[in-house]
Amino acid sequence: MIRKRVQRLAVFILIGIAILIIRLVQIQLMETKSFSDRDINLIEASVAQRSQEMILDNGRGKFYDRNDKPLTYETVPSLVLFPFLKNMNWDVEQLANIIGVPTKEITAALETSKEPFVLGGKNPIQLTDEQMEAINELQIPGVFAVHKQFERKTTPAAQLIGILGENPEQLKERYPDKDIPLNTLIGITGLQKSFDEFLLQEENTKLVYHVDGKGGPLFGIDVKYVDPSNPFYPVKINTTIDMEIQNEAEKIADKHKISKGGIVLLDIETNSILALVSRPNIDEKDPYANDGAKNLMVTAQIPGSVFKTVIAAAAIDNSLNNPDRVFDCSKTIRGTEDKVYDHGPLNFTDSFAVSCNYTFGTLAQELMEKDETIIETYASKLGLMDNVGWSGDVFHFKDFHQLADEEKGQVFLTNEERSDANFVAQTGIGQYNVRITPLGAANMMATIARGGKKEMVRAVSSIEYKNGSTLYSFPQESLGGDEISPYTAMKLQQLLREVVVNENGTGRLMQNLPYDVAGKSGTAQTYQKEDMQYENKWFVGYFPFDKPKYAMAIVKLDVPSEEGSVTPIYQDMVNYLYQYDHQ
């Protein structure tokens, strides 16, 4: 009886030992990098238990402006201190003398520290080259002068660049065949999202110091500076943004209190984005609150009279722009007396200058009698219907889009709308279901300024390897599809200039700017709340008129009708760009 009990006990012990061995094999050999359903990397965890580290660079690719200035971070010569210093006798006074900081400030920071930290935190003490050299010559364990990368407090063109986040489900969906830690940052919006696979982080650049069980330094083991050995990654994304212009555009937008809307500025020669401001700002605590993470410059909006440019192009090509023809601009679009704008009889050119709704509602109806698709055809010729951001095949990426969040434009939603005369008239003045993006509007102006040549808009010029060689260059590309003729473009140029030089033109307040401007205003009704009408207020155009260099769209969205136009914002931008070009 006793013998059987001993045998059973021995069996249970053997089974227990076998289970422990299997478990140890699982932990030590089989699942070292992905243990349990939380995918814990046991090797990294064990190293973390016996080391302290300071991340200097997270290893993800970075964005730069056209002058090679970093957009998303800044490198600061900083002092890094390890927490075990508070339990050591070391010459804190000598360090304090080098950096010019009171001793008690250094010791106080150490007392509250549990991990390696930069003295000064988010506002680090910036060291000189001489100070860095003197600090490192002290050779004090746990005291290091290094160049550390900090995220900018405010990212220029934040919505264009986009936001990052941890999303394990999205990570697995995007990269099912890659062995990537689940806490890897990925692009959620903007260029961070479009270029995510190029930007995926490699190994961190960091300082690593081995410590004993109490957190003290293991003397005899030097600090390790861990820098990825891969000469190609992380990559640089060279954007077309000019940070100096971008920063000024942000200041001007905030000066004029754009709460919803923004500014987009294009370089006409290269058809590239020089500056893009979208408001509201991104809220760091809740990026998706109040459309803060949304790039409203690539989001389709109601354009109002900006869309009359499309009707004008179609009218020119269909000989409806007879200078002797007169329209009764004392009437509303429905043919009733206009109690707000009584412009009297005007020809085609003057109608465009003062933005007469009756004229362009009438022309839209006449055009649709000729061809029920004509308005959409001309909107497409001017680049307003499809995405205008750069797209094409890049290596194994088929139909790669730089601006992944960009929306398309629209004119009519149903065939029934095309047969409704009132609906057609409203469409002719950019109301009802007409939608275009501010980027598309700016690109339309660039197209007209170039004589009708339609091109894709670039936000990124190239991707560069870590060693400085080029991974890929994004060439200037035609937008494709039909274009307006050079003659039509010339006529539109004259109309757009008339908006400014005509004594009654909607852009007449820009007559005395240092650059001659050509453009079109727009006011679109969006919704009514109680007794208040809300509107989108636009001005889009290009300058200088004789030698076009810039195309720009500025818009305030959903503002009370009594709020002023965006003309003062446009004036400030034109004045600044003139100074920028002549500095």
Summarised one tens digit per residue, pLDDT across range 464-496 is 998 899 999 999 999 999 999 999 999 999 999
Question: What is the distance between the terminal CA atoms of the chain, rounded to a whole angstrom?
Answer: 103
Residue 220's pLDDT band (cuts 50, 70, 90): very low
Structural domain contains residue 42 = no
CA distances from 67 to 243, 260, 297, 323, 471 (A): 8, 29, 23, 48, 18
Structural domain contains residue 15 = no
Question: What is the model's pLDDT at position 216?
Answer: 54
Token duo for residue 501: 């030089």
Question: What is the model's pLDDT at position 44?
Answer: 47
**Same domain flag for 480 and 370:** yes
* DSSP letters spanning 143-184: EEEEEEEEE-SS-TTHHHH--EEE-HHHHHHH-TTS---TT-
Question: What is the model's pLDDT at position 201?
Answer: 77
Q: Whose CA is closest to 522, among 457, 581, 567?
A: 567
Burial (Cβ within 10 Å: 0-12, 13-18, ≥19) of residue 67? exposed
Task: Give the highest mean pLDDT range of 225-229, 231-235, 537-541.
Answer: 537-541
Q: How far apart are CA 554 and CA 559, in angstroms?
A: 14
**Same domain flag for 249 and 138:** no
Q: How far apart are CA 261 and CA 280, in angstroms?
A: 7
Last residue of a domain, one of 151, 169, 203: 151
Structural domain contains residue 19 = no
Question: What is the model's pLDDT at position 153?
Answer: 80
Residue for token pair 């990269």 = 175
**Same domain flag for 299 and 353:** yes
- Number of structural domains (the chain) is 3
Q: Indicate which residues carry an active-site annotation.
A: 305
Amino acid at 447: T
Lowest mean pLDDT across 98-107, 293-302, 438-447:
98-107
Structural domain contains residue 359 = yes
Q: Is the pLDDT of residue 46 over 50?
A: no
List, for residues 301-331, the tens digit of each pLDDT value.
Answer: 999 999 999 999 999 999 999 999 999 999 9
**Same domain flag for 443 and 456:** yes
List, for residues 7-44, the tens digit of each pLDDT value.
Answer: 777 777 777 777 777 666 555 555 545 545 555 444 44
Structural domain contains residue 4 = no
**Same domain flag for 176 and 132:** no
Q: What is the CATH number of the domain that holds 221?
A: 3.90.1310.10
Residue 190's pLDDT band (cuts 50, 70, 90): very high
Q: Is the pLDDT of residue 552 over 90?
A: yes
List, for residues 332-390, the tens digit of each pLDDT value.
Answer: 999 898 888 889 999 999 999 999 999 999 999 999 999 999 999 999 999 999 999 99
**Same domain flag for 63 and 119:** no
Arithmetic mean of pLDDT over the chain? 89
**Same domain flag for 366 and 481:** yes
Last residue of a domain, one of 151, 183, 213: 151
Q: What is the CATH number of the domain that holds 454?
A: 3.40.710.10
Q: How far apart are CA 222 and CA 366, in angstroms?
A: 82
**Same domain flag for 162 and 173:** yes
Structural domain contains residue 488 = yes
Query: Percent of the chain having pLDDT more than 70?
Result: 88
Question: What is the model's pLDDT at position 52?
Answer: 67
Domain that holds residue 449: 243-581
Question: What is the model's pLDDT at position 288?
Answer: 80
Structural domain contains residue 23 = no
**Same domain flag for 118 and 60:** no
91 or 320, which is more confident: 320
**Same domain flag for 205 and 308:** no
Structural domain contains residue 29 = no
Last residue of a domain, one of 238, 272, 297: 238
* Mean pLDDT on 215-232: 59
Question: What is the model's pLDDT at position 500?
Answer: 98
**Same domain flag for 207 and 118:** no
Q: Is the pLDDT of residue 130 over 60?
A: yes
**Same domain flag for 216 and 143:** no
The whole-model pTM stands at: 0.87
Question: What is the model's pLDDT at position 75?
Answer: 87
Helix and strand numbers, DSSP H then E, in the chain: 19, 21
3-class SS at 458?
strand
Lowest mean pLDDT across 225-234, 247-256, 325-334:
225-234
